[in-house]
Amino acid sequence: MEIQNLLVAALTHLVKFQSTQCQTAKERALMMFEKLSTLEDINPEIQALCNEVNDLLAA
């Protein structure tokens, strides 16, 4: 359930950033996607997507 909650929160912040360009939302999304990408029990496909989002947000 922790993974699902983090993913929903990360996506929520990502959408907020995309719609408002709010830097705080961007930072929170990046932080949550980074956390998701380091979890041990996460699906490898989700982990790869989180890594991609991290790269896009950090650019």
| Among candidate residues 3, 55, 4, 23, the one with its CA nearest the CA of residue 13 | 23
* Contact in structure between 36 and 42 (CB atoms under 8 Å): yes
CB 12 within 8 A of CB 38: no
Q: Over its length of 59 residues, how does the chain's per-residue pLDDT go in tens digits?
A: 688 999 999 999 999 999 999 999 999 999 999 999 888 888 999 999 999 999 998 88
Question: pTM for the whole thing?
Answer: 0.84
Contact 8, 25 (CB under 8 A): no
Contacts of 28 (CB under 8 A, 6+ apart): 9, 13
Instruction: Collapse the DSSP code of 21 into the 3-class scheme (helix H, G, I; strand E, B; otherwise coil) and give the result.
Output: coil
pLDDT at 3: 87
